Amino acid sequence: MPFVPPPSLPDFLSAQLPFERGMYRLESGAFTGRRLHFLDHGPRSARPVLLLHGNPTWAYLWRKVMRRLPELRCVAPDLVGLGFSDKPFAPGAHRLDSHIEAVRELVKTLDLRDLVLVAQDWGGCIGTGVAAREPQRIAAAVFGNTAVIRPSRWHGTSFHRFARMPGVSDLTFRLLGFPLRALHKAQGDPGSIRGEVARAYRWPLRRLRDRAAPLGLARMVPDGPDHPSVEPIVEGDTWLRAFEGPVSLVWGTKDPVLGRALKRHEEALPEATVIRTEAGHFLQEEVPEKLAAAVLETVRELDPSTR
């Protein structure tokens, strides 16, 4: 059977995640046989909201947003290699197309329709990749601090160039747990990721052998036009520019990685609703109410009777 019992959570995480959870064993694609962990909260008959995280977080990132959407069905998977999903040992196992197909399979198996796509960081390109291949399932989209609109040239940041340095990057990501111990530095309010919250992000990758994904996903960022991530990014970009449903951009302008990327998204998506905040990269920790409000407003736009 493709669905199996999810792993137990330590007490400190159980208290923070009072949501129903599931575990799905993938049956196709590069991750065949790998198990995908996901949160599934809200009435099964309600409009689904697909919440996709990025690197190096997991579905825990969405807990504050999910609590504000009790009347919707919120599905938040952990990407393969992160959270409580299975973890390939090799960084090279992480390819954008493989992650797209894994999430796509879960969406099809759960038969999510007329969904609101909500995505941040790599979740954006994974989500638009799924949308490009399952366009009939997408009713609206909310993006925050992501890069779903392709840049004018493919080069990445100094962080991503460092991730491609052999030896030293493997040592830094695996042995030292980078960048999990530095998430607060990407925030507008560094105090938003401290203590038990910081511990929660580190917990699924506490063992050295499980730390391939942060490095693998960093190397997924294109450094040139021939990089294997370019084609699925362009595929998702093309879908989004032609998409006629509601689109919202909720941005943390103090994000040192993607804060300035808002400009190209605004230019490419002139009809999108734009909400600027003083948050950093992981805006779910600082302004969850802004993200939840954007989702609810989108749902009201889709169904005016809910106003």
In tens, the pLDDT along 256-267 reads 999 999 999 999
Kindly report the average pLDDT of the chain as a whole number. Answer: 96
Distance set, CA 154 to CA 221, 223, 234 (Å): 9, 5, 12
Backbone φ and ψ of 84, nearest 5°: -105, 15
pLDDT band at 158 (very low <50, low <70, confident <90, very high): confident
pLDDT at 291 > cutoff 70: yes
| CATH architecture entry for 3-306 | 3-Layer(aba) Sandwich (3.40)
pLDDT band at 307 (very low <50, low <70, confident <90, very high): low
pLDDT band at 156 (very low <50, low <70, confident <90, very high): confident
Q: How many whole angstroms separate alpha carbon 263 and alpha carbon 212? A: 32
Residue 25's pLDDT is: 98
pLDDT band at 227 (very low <50, low <70, confident <90, very high): very high
Residue 263's pLDDT is: 97
Give the CA dihedral 301, 275, 220, 36, nearest 10 degrees: -50
The residue among 116, 140, 105, 143 whose CA lies nearest residue 50 is 116
Residue 306's pLDDT is: 63
Segment 54-67 shows an average pLDDT of 98
pLDDT band at 206 (very low <50, low <70, confident <90, very high): very high
In tens, the pLDDT along 84-125 reads 999 999 999 999 999 999 999 999 999 999 999 999 999 999
pLDDT at 18 > cutoff 90: yes
Domains of the chain, residue spans: 3-306
In tens, the pLDDT along 114-153 reads 999 999 999 999 999 999 999 999 999 999 999 999 999 9
